């Protein structure tokens, strides 16, 4: 367990209500924990208390076994990656110099830093030759956002705090950035606290969701558990009416199929098959495209089952309550 | 014609002193003060300070000299004092405006990455404020060049001596000469400061 909040509260001066009210939760190592909620629910404040950009009015925050009030804030922050929605690249420094910021603060040698900068640019899908010497104003929104993430990862911090990191770009670019980041995270396994107000982003990115409303923690759990059993009407309305369909996106085909050793030849011929780990939604799409009532399920090259439209319908019915 | 050549260099030099010395003092006072007034603990003082400096600007320079006459007498001293007071405001005000104008998200990102407040000031806020601060310095310089003319009235000499001599003795060519000299001086100073500004402006703004 990497990050722990114990009964953390924050009331801003001049306000009569707490912005964060007795919040406790844990973030496990290697997980993306999503803090979800509407504007003003306190999620960003909580994030900023973890790297001491805000100080709690009461409660404890423990990072890596140590109470963070015992660590000098700038030192703490150099070990935690921080990505914000507006990105905040230094306009008067080149991309190289921007990414090199924390390594320089930590006293890395120039050669080690430059090597790391190249590595990060490539990791983020940017061409170092093209981009390293440019200034932020010369980059597109998507490129800047990638540089923002690269900069946060420069010193390879085990923990990252991300506040709507993909919010400043258009939806098409956002989806790509999300996908790329997820595949990066598979390789790197960082501990990430991710703030968003978008339920779809939360479900897609999160290993674990924590939902807030007006400063209070309302529900915690794996995305699919939250979708199946929302804690109250607020969470229900946050999830949206289409939670049955959202669940399809998260459920693997193998979870709903009927096991079978053989699959009808015409299904195989027409290509009406999906892999067992693909979401049920993908199976549904194939069914609709091929105009079929059922889909063959394969694990690799081996046929293992059948998934019918009927079963999907019953499942959505059951979980939608 | 004589005024244009023989006596002129001495007066030009005196005038230059009357500009550079107050400017120097003003920079040493106004820049740090402006910076301090943008720091979190002192921000609430900035409005009041600006109000005081602004009010000071409305007092005619001659009145300032008159006020300090019992303590400093006439001549160089009070002239420099009055000019310094006038040189302070544009520098302080522009410094505060420029530093406050640095976008919040840039400062937030810099702090969030682990820069200390001093590092944020030195590496982020100040470089990005250079254009604004230099505008203040330029304004102050040009203002001082023209206000320094008044120093002549209290024996501080400078180009004012030539201009007032022209007024008192009905020799318009002296007035013209004096005016041309200080006009040229103002332009040269402004260009010089602009050149220096260009040298310290961060690369992305050039």
Exposed (0-12), middle (13-18) or buried (19+): which is B75, by Cβ within 10 Å?
Answer: middle
Across the range B169-174, mean pLDDT stands at 82
User: Which of B103, B113, B128 faces A77 most closely, judged by CB atoms?
Assistant: B113
Name the token pair of A263. Answer: 């699959």
pTM over 0.90: no
Q: Which residue has the higher pLDDT, B191 or B47?
A: B191
Instruction: State whether A92 and B109 contact (CB < 8 Å).
Output: no
**Residue A290 distance to chain B (closest CA, Å):** 50
User: Which of B109, B116, B128 faces A92 most closely, judged by CB atoms?
Assistant: B128
pLDDT band, very low/low/confident/very high, at B136 (cuts 50, 70, 90): very high
Instruction: State whether B112 and A84 contact (CB < 8 Å).
Output: yes
pLDDT band, very low/low/confident/very high, at B31 (cuts 50, 70, 90): very high
Interface check B115 vs A, CB under 8 A: yes
Across the range A25-44, mean pLDDT stands at 93
Furthest C-alpha separation in chain B: 68
Q: Provide the sign of the torsion angle of the four alpha carbons A77, A81, A84, A86, taken in this order.
A: positive
- Report d(CA A194, CA A43) in Å as an integer: 9
> Does A209 have pLDDT greater than 90?
yes
pLDDT of residue A7: 95
**Residue B25 distance to chain A (closest CA, Å):** 30
Which residues of chain B lie closer than 8 angstroms to A78, CB-CB?
A: 113-114
Which residues of chain B lie closer than 8 angstroms to A148, CB-CB?
A: 109
pLDDT of residue B206: 65
Q: What's the alpha-carbon Rg for chain A, to the nearest Å?
A: 23
**Residue A230 distance to chain B (closest CA, Å):** 34
Give per-residue pLDDT as tens, B46-89.
Answer: 888 888 877 877 888 777 777 777 777 777 777 888 888 888 88
Across the range A184-210, mean pLDDT stands at 92
A70-84, A253-267, B184-198: which range is least confident on average? A253-267
Q: Provide the CATH number for the domain around residue B49.
A: 1.10.3720.10
pLDDT of residue A269: 83
Q: Closest chain B residue to A54 measured between Cα atoms?
A: B112
- Report d(CA A268, CA A319) in Å as an integer: 30
Interface check B131 vs A, CB under 8 A: no
User: Which of A74, A90, A101 faces B116 most closely, judged by CB atoms?
Assistant: A74
From residue A126, give the alpha-carbon distance in Å to each of A185, A291, B110. Answer: 17, 41, 23
pLDDT of residue B35: 92
Instruction: Give A135-177 as a DSSP string.
Output: -GGGS-HHHHHHHHHHHHHTT--SEEEEESTTTTS-HHHHHHH
> Does A6 have pLDDT greater than 90?
yes
pLDDT of residue A103: 94
Check if the beta carbon of residue A36 is closer than 8 Å to that of residue A212.
yes
Check if the beta carbon of residue A260 is closer than 8 Å to that of residue A283.
no
pLDDT of residue A35: 96
**Residue B160 distance to chain A (closest CA, Å):** 44
> Does A290 have pLDDT greater than 80?
yes
Instruction: State whether A77 and B114 contact (CB < 8 Å).
Output: yes
Which residues of chain B lie closer than 8 angstroms to A150, CB-CB?
A: none
Instruction: State whether A53 and B112 contact (CB < 8 Å).
Output: yes
Which residues of chain B lie closer than 8 angstroms to A91, CB-CB?
A: 106, 128, 202, 204
| Chain A residues touching chain B at CB-CB below 8 Å | 51, 53, 74-78, 82, 84, 86-92, 101-102, 105, 135-137, 148, 151-152
Which residues of chain A lie closer than 8 angstroms to B119, CB-CB?
A: 74, 105
Interface check B126 vs A, CB under 8 A: no
Which residues of chain B lie closer than 8 angstroms to A87, CB-CB?
A: 105, 109
Give per-residue pLDDT as tens, B95-113.
Answer: 998 999 999 999 999 999 9
Across the range A292-312, mean pLDDT stands at 87
Interface check B169 vs A, CB under 8 A: no
pLDDT band, very low/low/confident/very high, at B2 (cuts 50, 70, 90): low
pLDDT band, very low/low/confident/very high, at A251 (cuts 50, 70, 90): confident
Instruction: State whether A77 and B112 contact (CB < 8 Å).
Output: yes
**Residue A200 distance to chain B (closest CA, Å):** 26
Interface check B124 vs A, CB under 8 A: yes
The 3-state DSSP class for residue A83 equals strand
Q: Which residue has the higher pLDDT, A116 or B151?
A: A116
What structural domains and CATH numbers belong to chain A?
Answer: 3-242 (3.40.50.300), 248-319 (3.90.1280.20)
Interface check B106 vs A, CB under 8 A: yes
**Residue B106 distance to chain A (closest CA, Å):** 4
Instruction: State whether B114 and A90 contact (CB < 8 Å).
Output: no
pLDDT band, very low/low/confident/very high, at A100 (cuts 50, 70, 90): very high
Interface check B5 vs A, CB under 8 A: no
CB burial of A164-193 (b: ≥16 within 10 Å; e: otherwise) equals bbbbbbeeebbeebbeebeeebeeeebbbb
Instruction: State whether A137 and B204 contact (CB < 8 Å).
Output: yes
Across the range A271-282, mean pLDDT stands at 85
Q: For residue B123, what is the DSSP state? A: I
pLDDT of residue B149: 82
pLDDT of residue B10: 77
> Does A139 have pLDDT greater than 90?
yes
Domain of B35 in residue numbering reads as: 2-205
User: Which of A76, A78, A84 faces B108 most closely, judged by CB atoms?
Assistant: A84
**Residue A9 distance to chain B (closest CA, Å):** 21
pLDDT band, very low/low/confident/very high, at B167 (cuts 50, 70, 90): confident
**How high is the mean pLDDT of chain A?**
90
- Report d(CA A199, CA A211) in Å as an integer: 10
Number of folded domains in chain B? 1
Q: Closest chain A residue to B117 measured between Cα atoms?
A: A74
Interface check B173 vs A, CB under 8 A: no
Complex ipTM: 0.80
pLDDT of residue B146: 84
């Amino acid at each position: 367990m990497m990050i722990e909040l114990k009964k953390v509260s924050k009331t801003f001066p001049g306000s009569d209500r707490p912005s964060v009210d007795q919040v406790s939760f844990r973030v496990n190592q290697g997980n993306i924990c999503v803090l979800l909620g509407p504007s003003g629910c306190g999620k960003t404040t909580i994030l900023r208390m973890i790297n001491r950009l805000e100080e709690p009015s009461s409660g404890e925050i423990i990072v890596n076994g140590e109470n963070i009030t015992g660590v000098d804030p700038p030192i703490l922050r150099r070990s935690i990656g921080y990505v914000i929605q507006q990105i905040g690249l230094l306009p008067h420094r080149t991309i190289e110099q921007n990414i090199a910021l924390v390594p320089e603060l930590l006293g890395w040698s120039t050669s080690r830093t430059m090597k790391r900068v190249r590595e990060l640019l490539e990791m983020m899908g940017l061409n170092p030759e093209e981009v390293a010497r440019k200034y932020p104003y010369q980059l597109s929104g998507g490129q800047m956002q990638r540089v923002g993430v690269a900069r946060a990862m420069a010193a390879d911090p085990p923990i990252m705090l991300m506040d709507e990191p993909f919010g400043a770009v258009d939806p098409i670019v956002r989806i790509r950035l999300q996908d790329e980041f997820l595949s990066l995270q598979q390789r790197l396994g960082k501990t990430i606290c991710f703030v968003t107000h978008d339920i779809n982003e939360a479900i897609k990115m999160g290993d674990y969701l924590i939902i807030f409303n007006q400063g209070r923690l309302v529900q915690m759990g794996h995305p699919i558990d939250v979708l199946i059993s929302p804690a109250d009407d607020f969470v229900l309305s946050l999830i949206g009416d289409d939670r049955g369909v959202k669940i399809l996106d998260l459920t693997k085909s193998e979870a709903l199929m009927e096991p079978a050793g053989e699959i009808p030849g015409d299904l195989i011929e027409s290509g009406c098959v999906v892999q067992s780990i693909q979401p049920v939604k993908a199976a549904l799409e194939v069914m609709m495209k091929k105009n079929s009532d059922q889909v063959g399920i394969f694990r690799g090259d081996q046929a293992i089952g059948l998934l019918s439209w009927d079963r999907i319908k019953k499942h959505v019915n059951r979980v939608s309550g | 014609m004589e005024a244009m050549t023989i006596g002129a260099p001495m007066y030009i030099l005196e005038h230059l002193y009357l500009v550079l010395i107050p400017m120097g003092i003003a920079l040493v006072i106004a820049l740090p003060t402006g910076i301090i007034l943008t720091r979190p603990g002192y921000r609430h003082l900035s409005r009041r300070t600006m109000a005081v400096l602004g009010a000071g600007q409305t007092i005619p320079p001659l009145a300032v000299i008159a006020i300090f006459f019992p303590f400093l007498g006439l001549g160089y001293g009070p002239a420099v004092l009055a000019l310094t007071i006038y040189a302070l405001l544009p520098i302080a005000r522009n410094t505060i405006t420029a530093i406050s104008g640095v976008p919040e998200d840039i400062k937030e990102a810099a702090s969030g990455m682990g820069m200390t407040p001093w590092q944020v000031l030195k590496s982020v806020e100040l470089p990005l404020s250079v254009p604004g601060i230099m505008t203040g310095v330029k304004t102050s310089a040009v203002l001082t060049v023209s206000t320094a003319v008044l120093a002549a009235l209290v024996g501080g000499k400078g180009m004012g001596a030539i201009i007032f001599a022209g007024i008192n003795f009905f020799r318009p060519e002296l007035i013209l000469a004096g005016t041309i000299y200080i006009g040229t001086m103002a332009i040269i100073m402004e260009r010089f400061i602009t050149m220096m500004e260009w040298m310290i402006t961060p690369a992305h703004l050039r």
